[in-house]
Amino acid sequence: MRLKDCHNYHDFRKLAKRRLPSPIFNYIDGGADDETTQRRNSDSFEACDLVPNVLRGVKDIDLSVTVMGQKLAMPLYCSPTALQRLFHHQGERAVAAAAAKHGTMFGVSSLGTVSLEELRRKHDNPQVYQFYFHKDRGLNSAMMQRAKEAGVEVMMLTVDSITGGNRERDLRTGFSIPFRLTLGGIMQFAIKPMWGINYVTHESFSLPQLDEHIDMDGSAMSIGRYFSEMLDPAMNWDDVAKMVQEWDGQFCLKGIMSVEDAKKAVDIGCTGIILSNHGGRQLDGSRAPFDQLKEIVDAVGDKIDVIMDSGIQRGSHVVKALALGAKAVGGGRCYLYPLAAAGQAGVDRALSLMKAEIQRDMMLMGCQSVSDLHEGMLRFR
């Protein structure tokens, strides 16, 4: 199986599974506890049917959207995800370059493996910086100042990860950063030698956004301890309101799921919210963002940009979310599997295929632009 044989999300997943050592593949692939929420995220779209209109004269399709002041050429963007150079040695460099080619937004995580400054220098498409709330308030301010000086357009605070989810696949393989693998996990690396060759022949793995706080040699702090010791579970709305004022620009909260929280985000001056359950990796049993989208759009959609992620596998999923009122849709695994499979070429192919799907679905729906989509085109079973 080669990249040219990949035509959809499931093909990229299959190729990534063949190329990655099992502990790393399962880190991408897995969710929390029984992974019920992870499955529901995608299944939720299947309970919604599209009702197309015909004879609408849709020769030319405009997929552009504006979200949090950023003009995107397509309504799908690459959500920030951690540890990307662990999946392929190009990491965030591949994702940023592919996103720039397609004129869409990409995100850099606090746990990213390429510095946000390097990516900002190389690409001028909109960049999001995703970070966590630390007990050290000075560190929070320093991270925001660093992003502002780098020219990042959108600040994204993740609010559903004050502690790590219970990811049992990682417990079984011993996956952690730094590596502390079980014997079975070590054997899985041994049978995928090309990954190891690439890992040791390219630049050393690091977390440049947090390199002063996490020692990758294992002598100071692991990723697990970072979540348990440095992040502040006492974070509250007053804390976030101060950060919004300090940033004084486009500021969104990722992990909003309730109407009550969406309204509070409006009240403290956020310009965007992202409906997300972290791809089913945090609270298992939580509601799928697509199922919650209409309720939140109805409540605050005229006051703040509502975005959603989690479970996106098809262009039709994006179209359904846009029809319900989402301003844009984020994807994580939908570009991580392609990244793991083939680096920049994989991400480029995945975005090309998704763009073609969205465009084709728009034509078949009788819609010339994203603004033509509306709730009346959907029926729920």
3-state secondary structure of 25: helix
Which of 88, 102, 278, 317 is catalytic? The answer is 278
**305 torsion bin: left (phi>0), alpha (psi -120 to 50), beta (else):** beta
**Global confidence as pTM:** 0.94
**What's phi and psi for 311, nearest 5 deg?**
95, 0
Spatial distance between the Cα atoms of 306 and 329, rounded to a whole number of angstroms: 9
Give the start-end residues of each E strand in 178-236: none
Q: Which two tokens stand for residue 206?
A: 């690091």
Spatial distance between the Cα atoms of 142 and 125, rounded to a whole number of angstroms: 24
Write the single-letter amino acid at 233. P
89 is catalytic: no
Query: Are residues 208 and 115 in contact, defined by beta-carbon separation less than 8 angstroms?
Result: yes
Residue 378 β-bridge partners:
50
**206 torsion bin: left (phi>0), alpha (psi -120 to 50), beta (else):** beta
- pLDDT tens digits in sequence order for the chain, 381 residues long: 899 999 999 999 999 999 999 999 999 999 999 999 999 999 999 999 999 999 998 989 999 999 999 999 999 999 999 999 999 999 999 999 999 999 999 999 999 999 999 999 999 999 999 999 988 888 899 899 999 999 999 999 999 988 888 999 988 888 877 677 677 777 888 888 888 888 888 998 888 998 876 665 554 456 767 777 788 889 999 999 999 999 999 999 999 999 999 999 999 999 999 999 999 999 999 999 999 999 999 999 999 999 999 999 999 999 999 999 999 999 999 999 999 999 999 999 999 999 999 999 999 999 999 999 999 999 999
> According to the model, what pLDDT value does residue 327 have?
98
Query: Are residues 327 and 2 in contact, defined by beta-carbon separation less than 8 angstroms?
Result: no
